[in-house]
Amino acid sequence: MKQGIYNILKGKFLFSDDAMRNWRMIIFLSFLAIIMIGSSHRADKKVHEISSLSAEVKELHSEFVDARLEARRSKMESVVTRKVAESGLAPSLTPPKKINVTKEP
């Protein structure tokens, strides 16, 4: 047992007669580790991108709500009357009358 650990620490498994099989396994495991690291970096990048897009969506939604509220306020009769009064117009004092159109045969 002690001799086996000593041989591993010295690296004899890399230079023995059947070392080619060991080198293939080491290269294969290194390749898999590189692929795993790259995949992890891509996943982290996508998580950050999703987070920034989510924050942007929240910001745009709040801007939409503010714009919709401002549009509702500007359509109110009191606001329209006040803006029109600045140019000298006033609401009519006589109520509107209904006009009936009849078809003549």
Residue ranges covered by each domain of the chain: 2-85
The pTM (predicted TM-score) of the whole model is 0.55
Q: What is the pLDDT along the chain (105 residues), one digit of tens a residue?
A: 778 787 777 777 777 777 777 788 889 999 999 999 999 999 999 999 999 999 999 999 999 999 999 999 999 988 888 888 888 888 888 998 999 999 887
Q: Is 22 helix (H, G, I), strand (E, B) or coil?
A: helix
Cα–Cα distances in angstroms (integers) from residue 61 to residues 55, 56, 58, 74, 75, in the given order = 10, 9, 5, 20, 21
| HEC per residue, 44-86 | HHHHHHHHHHHHHHHHHHHHHHHHHHHHHHHCCHHHHHHHHHH
